[in-house]
Amino acid sequence: MSSVYSESPRLSDRMGRLAFKPAESSSNGHIRPATPEPSSAISTYNDNAAPLVSTYNDRIRPLLDAIDKLRHLKVMKEGIELPTIVVVGDQSSGKSSVLESLAGISLPRGQGICTRVPLIMRLQHHPTIDPELHLEYHGKIVHTDETYIAEDIITATDEIAGNKKEISNTPLTLVVKKRGVPDLTMVDLPGITRVPVHGQPEDIYEQISGIIMEYIQPKESIILNVLSATVDFPTCESIRMSRRVDPTGERTLAVVTKSDKAPEGLLDKVTADDVNIGLGYVCVRNRIGDESYEEARKEEAKLFQTHPLLSEIDKSIVGIPVLARNLVQIQANSISRCLPDIVKKINDKLNQNMSELKKMPNHLSSVADALTAFMGILGSAKESFRKIFIRGEFDEYPNDKEMHCTARLAEMLNELSKELQLKCENNDSGDEFLMEEIKVLEEAIGIGLPNFLPRTAFLTILQGKVGEIASIPVEFVQKAWKYIEKVVLDVLMHHCENYPQLQSSTRRAAQNLIAKLKEQSLERVMETVEMEQLTDYTCNPEYMSSWSQLMIQEEPFMRFLKNLGDYDASKVNLGSLGTVEVRHLKKHMGMVQQAFDLRMRMTAYWKIVHQRLVDCLGLHLLYSVKNLVNKGIDREIANEFMGPHGGGLERMLEESPSVAAKRQRLNQSIKVLRESKDVVADITDRIAAYAN
Ligand code: GDP
Ligand code: MG
C-alpha cells in the first residue's frame, strides 16, 4: 500500500515552486523549509489509529502552532496577514465533506446553505486515543465531541450569524485534536450561491463573495478550490474568483470531489488543466451517507484501485491521504516563506504604535501638571502665530497655502487697492466730461470774483467720491478678520488636539477676542473714511507735481474748444484721462476752465486719498494682529478657561474619552504585537536549533 501513496516527482516539482528559499528572503538565515520525511512516514489508513500524516509533523507542528497563536492573538487586526489555507468552492461542491474527511469528523452538511460563517479548522495530531474537540467563538470555549459536533457548530453559527439563513464574517474556530489527523489549519467559507434562497438577503452573492475575496486576496493565502467532478470546471464560480486573485494559479490547489459520481472523462479533465491550477489536482471520494470515516477511506482506495476509468489516474493525485500530505507540505513551505516577512511587519507595526503612543500627551495627575501643560499649549500656539502672521515662516504648514498668512493678507490688500481704483474709473465714464464739476460749480457760485475756485465745490465732489467707495474698506476689514479668525481657530485647535476639554473655551475666547478686535477695526476704518470726507489735506509733494503735470493740457484744451466749429470732429485726447467728447461744453464756456481745473485737482488728490486708505488699512491690520498675538490671546483664553464656564485646570486632569480610547487602543495593540513578537522569536529560535 505504501508504494501506492508514495511521493511522485510531479508533486515535488510543484512544491518546489512554493518552497522557501533562504538565500532570497531570510533576514536571519535561520529559517529552513520544512522538508518531508521519506514516503515511508506517510502511512495508509488500514488501521483505526493510523495517522494520515505522521511524525514529520513534529517539525511542522511548532510552525503551525506559532501561526495559530498569532491568529489567536488577532494580529490580522493589526494588518498582518497570516499564511492560511482557504477552502473555497461552489455550494454543495463538497467543501465540508473534504474537511470532514481530513479531520475524520462529521460536519453539518446538506443541500441548503450550511457553512454560514468562516469556520477556522485547526487539526492537530495528538497521541492519546480519545479525540478532543472544542469550538472557540465570541471569546468562549465550548467543549464538544464527535457525536455533538454537528449540532454544536449549528448552535454556534446561529449565535454568530442569527438563526435564519444570513451569513456573517465573524469566524468560528473548531479545534480538532485527534490521533492521526494532519497538522493543518484551514478556513472553510460559505459556498457561493447566485440565487438567494428563501429568507436570505438579496445581496447574498455580494456578501459571500466579499468574504471569500477578503480571505483569498492576500498573497499569503493558499486557495484550496473544491470542485465537483460532476460539473464543468471552467463554469465554476469559485474558479472565476480564485483566478481573479491568483491568475497563474501558483497558490491554488484543486480537490475534485464526487469522483465516484462522474468517473467518465475525469482523467482528461485533470490532465488538461483548463483552469490553471498551479499546485495540481487531487481527486477524492468523500464519505457517503452513514458510512464511517474508516469505511469511507476503504471505499475510496478500492474505487481508485479497481474502477475501470478511475484506476487509470496516477496514484499520486488520488485520495484523501495524498491530499493531506500535499496540504501539510504546502502549508509548511508557505509558513516558512512568509515568516521573515511577518517578523518584519510585526516589528514595523510595533515601532509605529510605540512612537504614536509616545507622541500622546502625558496623563496629568496634579494641578501643577495641568498648569504646565496649559502654558505649554498657549506658548506653542503663540509661537505658531508669530511665525505665520508676523515673521512669515511656514515650516509648520509647508503645503497649506491658507496658512501662509503674510502672503494672503498682502494679497487681500492688493485686491483692495485694485477695487478702489476700479470703482473710481467706472464712475467717471458715466457722466459727460466735466458736467459733474460744472453742476457743482453752478451751485457753489457766490457773490464774488469769478477767478477764485470755490473750495466748497471741491469738497462737495470729494465727499461724493469718498461716499461712493466707503463700503469697500468696511468689507475689506470684515473679510480680513474672517480669514484671521479661521486661521487662529485652526492653529489653536491643532495645539489643543490632545485636550478636547480645552477646546470649547479656547474657541470661545478666540472668537470673543476677534469680535472685539474686528469691532475696533471697523470703527477705525469708518473714522478714516469720515476724515477723508471732512477735509482735503496732504503734505505729499506728489499732489502738486501731478496737478501741474495735468494742467499743462489746460491751454491747448481751451484753445481747441474755442475754435471748435459746428462740423468739426469734437473728440480730444487727454493722455492719461483718455479720449473725451467735448461738444456739449460749448454751451458752458464760462465754467469750463474752472471745471477743468477742479477735475485735475481731484484727479491728483484722489491718488493721495487712495494710497492713504490702503496704507492706513495695511498698517492697522498688522498692528491689530500683532496685538492679538502678543497681548490679547493668552489672557483671553486663560480668563475664559479659568472663568465660570471654562471648568478650570481641574478639568484638564480628566482625560477625555476619545484620547483615553486612543491610548487604550494603542496599548492593546502594542501588547498583542509584543506577544506576537515573542511567539515568532520563539519559533525562529527553534528553527535555528533544528538547523544545527
Ligand atoms: P459544501 O456545500 O460544499 O460544504 O458541500 P457538502 O460537503 O455539504 O456536500 C454536498 C453534498 O455532496 C452532500 O450531500 C455530500 O454527501 C455530497 N458529497 C460530497 N462529496 C462527495 C463524494 O465524494 N461523493 C459523493 N457521492 N457525494 C459527495
Ligand atoms: Mg459546507
Contact of 126 with 49, CB cutoff 8 Å: no
Burial class (CB in 10 A: 0-12, 13-18, 19+), 555: exposed
Q: Tens digits of per-residue pLDDT, 415-468?
A: 999 998 887 776 555 678 888 899 998 888 878 787 788 888 999 999 999 999
Q: Of 106, 116, 108, nearest to 164 (Cα)?
A: 116
CA–CA dist 649, 371 (Å, integer)? 7
Q: Give whole-number Cα distances, 545 to 16, 75, 479, 593, 605, in Å.
A: 95, 82, 36, 20, 11
> Percent of the chain, pLDDT > 70?
87
Strands 221-228 and 84-89, bridge-based pairing: parallel
Locate the domains of the chain by residue range.
3-352+676-691, 367-654
Neighbours of ion ligand 2 (CB under 5 A): 95-96, 114-115
Atom of ligand 1 nearest to the CA of 115: 4
CA–CA dist 626, 620 (Å, integer)? 10
**Dist. CA 218 → ligand 1 center (Å):** 28
* Pocket, ligand 1, Cβ cutoff 6 A: 89, 91-97, 109, 114-115, 191, 257-258, 260-261, 285-286, 288
Count how many Cα atoms sit within 13 Å of the Cα of residue 676 in the half-sphere of its side chain.
Answer: 31
Q: Tens digits of per-residue pLDDT, 633-662?
A: 888 888 887 777 766 777 777 777 888 888
> Percent of the chain, pLDDT > 90?
34
**Dist. CA 87 → ligand 2 center (Å):** 10
**Closest CA to ligand 1's atom 13:** 110
Q: What is the DSSP string of 554-572?
A: HHHHHHHHHT--TTS--EE
* pLDDT at residue 366 is higher than 50: yes
**Closest CA to ligand 1's atom 24:** 258
Q: Looking at residues 570-575, what average pLDDT do you find?
A: 87
**Closest CA to ligand 1's atom 9:** 94
Q: What is the pLDDT of residue 609?
A: 93
Least confident of 48-52, 71-75, 319-323: 48-52
Count how many Cα atoms sit within 13 Å of the Cα of residue 423 in the half-sphere of its side chain.
Answer: 18
Q: Looking at residues 355-378, what average pLDDT do you find?
A: 82
Q: Of 431, 427, 451, nearest to 439 (Cα)?
A: 431
SS3 644: coil
SS3 258: coil
The amino acid present at 400, given as its one-letter code, is: D
Q: Tens digits of per-residue pLDDT, 488-519?
A: 999 999 988 878 778 888 898 899 999 999 99
Q: Looking at residues 599-627, what average pLDDT do you find?
A: 92
Q: What is the pLDDT of residue 691?
A: 60
| Bigger pLDDT: 363 vs 561 | 561
Which residues on neighbouring strands pair with residue 177, listed in sequence order?
124, 132
**Dist. CA 133 → ligand 1 center (Å):** 23
pLDDT band at 142 (very low <50, low <70, confident <90, very high): very high
Strands 132-137 and 172-178, bridge-based pairing: antiparallel
CA–CA dist 99, 188 (Å, integer)? 8
Contact of 89 with 238, CB cutoff 8 Å: yes
The amino acid present at 548, given as its one-letter code, is: S
Atom of ligand 1 nearest to the CA of 226: 3
Q: What is the pLDDT of residue 624?
A: 93
Burial pattern 37-55, b for ≥16 Cβ within 10 A else e, equals eeeeebbebeeeeebbbbe
| Bigger pLDDT: 646 vs 160 | 160
CA–CA dist 304, 1 (Å, integer)? 13
- Mean pLDDT taken over the chain: 83
CATH number of 367-654: 1.20.120.1240
Q: Could you tell which of 87, 92, 102, 255 is best to mutate to test the pocket of ligand 1, judged by most ligand atoms within 8 Å of the CB?
A: 92
Alpha helices in 19-146 (DSSP H): 22-25, 57-72, 95-103
C-alpha cell at 534: 471732512
Asked if 3-352+676-691 and 367-654 have one fold, the answer is no
Contact of 460 with 440, CB cutoff 8 Å: yes
Q: What is the pLDDT of residue 602?
A: 92
**Closest CA to ligand 1's atom 1:** 92
Q: What is the pLDDT of residue 680?
A: 84
**Dist. CA 620 → ligand 1 center (Å):** 85
CATH number of 3-352+676-691: 3.40.50.300
Burial class (CB in 10 A: 0-12, 13-18, 19+), 199: exposed
* pLDDT at residue 360 is higher than 70: yes
Q: Of 43, 681, 678, 13, nearest to 333 (Cα)?
A: 13
Q: Of 175, 169, 131, nearest to 153 (Cα)?
A: 175
C-alpha cell at 228: 465537483
CA–CA dist 601, 596 (Å, integer)? 9
- φ/ψ of 365, rounded to 5, equals -120, -10
Query: Nearest bound ligand to CA 97?
Result: 1
Instruction: Kindly tell me the number of DSSP H helices and DSSP E strands found in the chain.
Output: 22, 11
SS3 254: strand
**Dist. CA 95 → ligand 1 center (Å):** 7
**Dist. CA 423 → ligand 2 center (Å):** 80
* pLDDT at residue 22 is higher than 50: no
C-alpha cell at 9: 516527482
Q: What is the pLDDT of residue 596?
A: 94
Query: Nearest bound ligand to CA 119?
Result: 2
Q: What is the pLDDT of residue 196?
A: 67
CA–CA dist 599, 615 (Å, integer)? 24
**Closest CA to ligand 1's atom 19:** 94
**Dist. CA 209 → ligand 1 center (Å):** 21
pTM value is 0.58
* pLDDT at residue 58 is higher than 70: no
**Dist. CA 46 → ligand 1 center (Å):** 23
Q: What is the DSSP string of 170-227?
A: S-EEEEEEETT---EEEEE-PPB-SSPPTTS-TTHHHHHHHHHHHHHSSTTEEEEEEE
Q: What is the DSSP string of 511-546?
A: HHHHHHHHHHHHHHHHHHHHHHHH------HHHHHH
Atom of ligand 1 nearest to the CA of 109: 8
Q: Give whole-number Cα distances, 115 to 93, 104, 171, 185, 492, in Å.
A: 12, 18, 11, 17, 54
Q: Is 392 left (phi over 0), alpha (psi -120 to 50) or beta?
A: left
Atom of ligand 1 nearest to the CA of 90: 3
**Closest CA to ligand 1's atom 18:** 94
